[in-house]
Amino acid sequence: MVKRRSVFALTALYKPFGLAPLEAAVAGLPVVATKNGGPSESLRQGNKEYGVLVDPEDPADIARGLERLLCDGQEWEYFAQAGQQRVLKTYTWESTAENYLTLLEQILSSPETRPRDELFPIHPYFRNPESQTDVFLEELGDLYFGSNQRVLSTSSL
Protein backbone atom coordinates (compact mmCIF):
# COMPACT_ATOMS: atom_id res chain seq x y z
CA MET A 1 0.00 0.00 0.00
CA VAL A 2 2.79 2.44 0.84
CA LYS A 3 4.61 1.62 -2.41
CA ARG A 4 1.44 2.50 -4.33
CA ARG A 5 1.13 5.77 -2.37
CA SER A 6 -2.25 4.79 -0.98
CA VAL A 7 -3.98 6.46 1.93
CA PHE A 8 -5.98 5.13 4.86
CA ALA A 9 -9.46 6.59 5.28
CA LEU A 10 -11.75 6.20 8.29
CA THR A 11 -14.75 8.47 7.92
CA ALA A 12 -16.99 7.05 10.64
CA LEU A 13 -19.44 9.49 12.20
CA TYR A 14 -17.61 9.12 15.52
CA LYS A 15 -14.58 7.10 16.65
CA PRO A 16 -13.88 7.03 20.41
CA PHE A 17 -10.13 6.36 20.17
CA GLY A 18 -9.26 5.28 16.65
CA LEU A 19 -6.64 2.56 16.82
CA ALA A 20 -6.94 1.70 13.10
CA PRO A 21 -5.72 5.14 11.91
CA LEU A 22 -2.74 4.88 14.26
CA GLU A 23 -1.89 1.40 12.94
CA ALA A 24 -2.09 2.69 9.37
CA ALA A 25 0.07 5.71 10.22
CA VAL A 26 2.80 3.62 11.85
CA ALA A 27 2.83 1.45 8.72
CA GLY A 28 3.59 4.60 6.70
CA LEU A 29 0.18 5.41 5.26
CA PRO A 30 -1.10 8.98 5.47
CA VAL A 31 -4.49 9.10 7.17
CA VAL A 32 -7.80 10.79 6.39
CA ALA A 33 -10.05 10.37 9.42
CA THR A 34 -13.19 11.67 11.06
CA LYS A 35 -12.78 14.87 13.01
CA ASN A 36 -15.22 13.51 15.59
CA GLY A 37 -13.66 11.73 18.55
CA GLY A 38 -10.24 10.26 19.16
CA PRO A 39 -8.56 11.05 15.84
CA SER A 40 -8.96 14.76 16.57
CA GLU A 41 -6.59 14.26 19.52
CA SER A 42 -4.23 11.64 18.13
CA LEU A 43 -3.80 13.20 14.67
CA ARG A 44 -3.55 16.83 15.74
CA GLN A 45 -1.70 18.66 18.49
CA GLY A 46 -2.32 22.38 18.55
CA ASN A 47 -1.86 23.57 14.97
CA LYS A 48 0.33 20.60 14.02
CA GLU A 49 -1.39 18.02 11.81
CA TYR A 50 -0.42 14.35 11.68
CA GLY A 51 -3.39 13.30 9.57
CA VAL A 52 -6.15 14.99 7.60
CA LEU A 53 -9.34 15.37 9.64
CA VAL A 54 -12.64 15.62 7.80
CA ASP A 55 -16.32 16.05 8.50
CA PRO A 56 -17.79 12.56 7.95
CA GLU A 57 -21.19 14.01 7.09
CA ASP A 58 -19.80 16.15 4.27
CA PRO A 59 -18.84 14.13 1.15
CA ALA A 60 -17.13 17.17 -0.36
CA ASP A 61 -14.92 17.54 2.73
CA ILE A 62 -14.00 13.84 2.56
CA ALA A 63 -13.14 14.26 -1.13
CA ARG A 64 -10.98 17.34 -0.35
CA GLY A 65 -9.13 15.38 2.33
CA LEU A 66 -8.43 12.48 -0.01
CA GLU A 67 -7.42 14.81 -2.86
CA ARG A 68 -5.09 16.69 -0.53
CA LEU A 69 -3.04 13.52 -0.05
CA LEU A 70 -3.51 11.74 -3.36
CA CYS A 71 -2.91 14.71 -5.63
CA ASP A 72 0.04 16.32 -3.89
CA GLY A 73 3.18 14.23 -3.47
CA GLN A 74 4.67 16.59 -0.90
CA GLU A 75 1.53 16.43 1.25
CA TRP A 76 1.51 12.63 0.95
CA GLU A 77 5.16 12.46 2.07
CA TYR A 78 4.66 14.91 4.93
CA PHE A 79 1.67 13.06 6.39
CA ALA A 80 3.25 9.64 5.86
CA GLN A 81 6.31 10.69 7.88
CA ALA A 82 4.60 12.95 10.41
CA GLY A 83 1.90 10.39 11.22
CA GLN A 84 4.40 7.58 11.61
CA GLN A 85 6.67 9.64 13.89
CA ARG A 86 3.69 10.79 15.98
CA VAL A 87 2.62 7.20 16.64
CA LEU A 88 6.14 6.01 17.39
CA LYS A 89 6.70 8.89 19.80
CA THR A 90 3.33 8.95 21.52
CA TYR A 91 1.40 5.69 21.16
CA THR A 92 3.82 2.82 21.79
CA TRP A 93 3.72 0.68 24.92
CA GLU A 94 7.10 2.14 25.87
CA SER A 95 6.01 5.76 25.62
CA THR A 96 2.73 4.98 27.40
CA ALA A 97 4.63 3.34 30.27
CA GLU A 98 7.08 6.26 30.47
CA ASN A 99 4.22 8.78 30.59
CA TYR A 100 2.45 6.69 33.24
CA LEU A 101 5.57 6.53 35.41
CA THR A 102 6.14 10.27 35.03
CA LEU A 103 2.56 10.93 36.14
CA LEU A 104 2.96 8.60 39.14
CA GLU A 105 6.17 10.39 40.14
CA GLN A 106 4.36 13.74 39.98
CA ILE A 107 1.47 12.45 42.09
CA LEU A 108 3.76 10.87 44.68
CA SER A 109 6.02 13.90 44.95
CA SER A 110 3.23 16.47 45.33
CA PRO A 111 1.83 17.17 48.79
CA GLU A 112 -1.62 15.78 49.31
CA THR A 113 -4.10 18.55 49.99
CA ARG A 114 -7.17 16.44 50.72
CA PRO A 115 -7.93 12.83 51.56
CA ARG A 116 -8.13 10.38 48.66
CA ASP A 117 -11.67 9.38 49.66
CA GLU A 118 -12.81 12.91 48.83
CA LEU A 119 -11.34 12.61 45.34
CA PHE A 120 -12.92 9.23 44.62
CA PRO A 121 -14.82 7.60 47.47
CA ILE A 122 -14.31 3.89 48.03
CA HIS A 123 -17.39 1.96 49.11
CA PRO A 124 -16.88 -0.25 52.21
CA TYR A 125 -17.56 -3.38 50.14
CA PHE A 126 -14.32 -2.85 48.23
CA ARG A 127 -12.37 -2.62 51.48
CA ASN A 128 -14.14 -5.61 53.08
CA PRO A 129 -16.13 -7.72 50.56
CA GLU A 130 -18.68 -9.44 52.78
CA SER A 131 -22.44 -9.78 52.64
CA GLN A 132 -23.00 -7.08 55.31
CA THR A 133 -21.05 -4.55 53.20
CA ASP A 134 -22.67 -5.56 49.91
CA VAL A 135 -23.57 -2.77 47.51
CA PHE A 136 -26.22 -2.46 44.82
CA LEU A 137 -25.37 -1.17 41.36
CA GLU A 138 -27.77 1.76 41.78
CA GLU A 139 -25.98 2.81 44.98
CA LEU A 140 -22.62 2.75 43.18
CA GLY A 141 -24.13 4.77 40.36
CA ASP A 142 -25.31 7.40 42.83
CA LEU A 143 -21.95 7.42 44.60
CA TYR A 144 -19.79 7.79 41.50
CA PHE A 145 -22.05 9.44 38.94
CA GLY A 146 -24.66 11.28 40.99
CA SER A 147 -28.30 10.41 41.45
CA ASN A 148 -29.28 11.89 38.09
CA GLN A 149 -27.29 9.32 36.11
CA ARG A 150 -29.01 6.18 34.92
CA VAL A 151 -27.10 2.97 35.60
CA LEU A 152 -27.79 -0.42 34.05
CA SER A 153 -29.32 -2.87 36.45
CA THR A 154 -27.95 -6.39 36.63
CA SER A 155 -31.22 -7.69 35.15
CA SER A 156 -30.55 -5.77 31.92
CA LEU A 157 -27.04 -7.16 31.47
What structural domains and CATH numbers belong to the chain? 8-92 (3.40.50.2000), 112-148 (no CATH)
| SS3 label, residue 78 | helix
Q: Are strands 48-49 and 44-45 parallel, antiparallel or unpaired?
A: antiparallel
H helical segments located in the chain: 19-26, 39-42, 59-70, 73-90, 93-109, 116-119, 124-127, 137-145
Q: Give the whole-angstrom CA distance, residue 45 versus residue 39.
A: 11
Residue 33 β-bridge partners:
10, 53
Q: Judge whether residue 154 has pLDDT over 60.
A: no
What is the length of the chain? 157
Q: Does the pLDDT at position 42 exceed 90?
A: yes
122 SS3 class: coil
Please give the Cα distance from 100 to 33 (Å, whole number): 27
Give the pLDDT confidence score for residue 150 in this predicted structure: 46
Question: Which pTM was predicted?
Answer: 0.66
pLDDT recorded at residue 20: 96
